[in-house]
Structure 1
């Protein structure tokens, strides 16, 4: 049965961040994810998770200077020491929040000619981070992101992520497959998932092209959710979408799955 995690960076923005855990639980979610927790003390977040019986499913490593346009530092040559420090920071949060998946963002290439050098740096940093995370029982996730939303991002296609996983050979590196990004770059979502399913550790969804609730746009998500259920997918599906209006008003798509979320939690 699909397990859905509310993305608290995008959903329930009607209230401050620390109040969104309660909102997610009230709407029937049993798991949460978000981009970054670092503006808050991990103990305070952990208290909200316990209070509302929520599982912390995923968050990202520190991305560098987000306001300046950085989207990860794992592939930025000369930033290796900063990257390693960011792994330690994320590990501390993950341990307190009992989170077992961390997404490592690669970064944006300032010039196309730098992509090869960046790719080599990315692989080296992943190779360093993987055993450190594995010793803590954590899966390292890498994601292909479309070049429309994030121009210049290092990896854009699912096969690029898979190639890196197979090249590195670490048992705890998996793909974070976002159907929104995959549809924009490649389409043929079900075939793509079947092709890469053994490498996929986490799924995310949003409508295309607007990135709103998964009940509109060009992707037939109800059908995809049924197929994932029948195929026995047991991971989480992160709801990384921007609600059209007030979050709870747009959760009609979630109604048929809401009551079953509790069963999956037991």
Structure 2
């Protein structure tokens, strides 16, 4: 079976921290998912006067269109290539949806951050969730575009290559790692990095290194943006040394950052 990602794309992932897959799932699957989300929003998709908030967060989604979007053959092959065959857990939920609407109101959640992978002392406190240099709990950050996203439609901002800086930040913290907030507070001290916008048509998926620094932004377009960013969960944390069988691109990126 043909690989989902070329050698050049794998090298890009190691170097820049992400790779974009066009048509990772179908436009029809995206349309079916949006129909479910509009029902739960309880807003009129044809009446902009009902769109009176900059963001509405919807809960976990495990209906067929969402599970189908996360489990297409091309994505499964890409997971194998980036994380390693047998090392990842299939997605059975698309997680939460931050639905963003055109608005002049500050959504209040546009800070740079790195998603955490495992719970701290209080599992119910998201701000205390943690991340360590072996990326315990998380194989990839994934951005699933369920609507067309242009530069005006609040695309996720990505700091290209920032996963390398975060790996070096995490190394001294050892197994316990740092909390979500501890990492966020240190990001301003990291080197400047080019910014990339996660744009694309519905059905596009960005597969990102778990340490990649990213941020939301206000919506200045005309149509609501539907995006989910579920984690790809892993069976065990990555080995970044002493692995005679070689290293996945996620682990290799960490290794190169720590040289």
In the superposition, the TM-score normalised over structure 2's length comes to 0.27
Higher share of residues assigned helix: 1
Q: Which has the higher contact order (CA 8 A, sep 6+)?
A: 2
